[in-house]
Amino acid sequence: MFGISQPHQKIIKMINDIINILKDSYKKNWITPRDGNISYKSSDSNKFIITPSGLRKQDLKESDFIEIEISDKGWKQLNNFDQKPSGEIELHYEILKSIKSDICVIHLHPTHIISAMYAGLNLPTLAASFPELSRYTQVANNTENVPPLSKDLALQCKSMLQFDDNRHEFTNDIVGIPNHGIVSIGSNAYDAFEHVERLEHIATIVLLSKNKPLEIN
């Protein structure tokens, strides 16, 4: 069933959670059919799984996932050689290679978060104004307006998430990429996805308000 070398129960569950999250994101209009990408690395492995490039995300199967090996020389694809990993592979690699614990990386295009950035709102300031968000989700400063699929985007996202060398974990949970989308991280797929849902909910409220507080401008 799997073309990967680590098909234990945790990986199987994570793959199915990722499939469901991408279906949910498509229904929410946060991605078009071939957009969005998600990866996951277990704490006990130097390999991670990632969604493939070009396939319709609402039709993904367990066997479509690609396994990547991390080494000092970079990343190496281990299976499904008729498919390519997500075009944002460098983004996932840069984040995942630093972490020794379980970690999931989600890249989506949530409508109202992108709208808020386009309107010039500062996402961390916005988040700080709503305790129900800031209590559970640490929002990073936006990246610059960098090209998709680029090494620059990968490095800026990693920088804004603020890796703590002493604790071997990131300080922030989600970062906005202007005119593009977000990157969110968590210990599992739904943990990372909930950061997106919280920020999208608050961005929707603020954009619908006719009286934006001055400190958000």
Does 215 or 29 have the greater pLDDT score? 29
Give 31-48 pLDDT, tens digit per residue: 999 999 999 999 988 999
Backbone angles phi, psi at 141, to 5 degrees: -65, 150
What value does the mean pLDDT of the chain take? 91
Residue 144 CB neighbours (<10 A): 10
Give 85-139 pLDDT, tens digit per residue: 999 999 999 999 988 899 999 999 999 999 999 999 889 999 999 998 989 999 9
Residue 200 domain-assigned (yes or no): yes
Residue 2 domain-assigned (yes or no): no
Here the CATH number for the domain that contains residue 14 is: 3.40.225.10
3-state secondary structure labels for all residues of 100-117: CCCEEEEEECCHHHHHHH
Residue 38 domain-assigned (yes or no): yes
Residue 4 domain-assigned (yes or no): no
The domain of 27 spans 9-216
Residue 163 domain-assigned (yes or no): yes
Residue 97 domain-assigned (yes or no): yes
Residue 81 domain-assigned (yes or no): yes
Q: Which residues pair with 199 in a beta bridge?
A: none
Structurally, how many domains does the chain consist of?
1
Residue 59 domain-assigned (yes or no): yes
Up-side HSE of residue 173: CA atoms within 13 Å toward CB? 23
Share of the chain above pLDDT 70, in %: 93
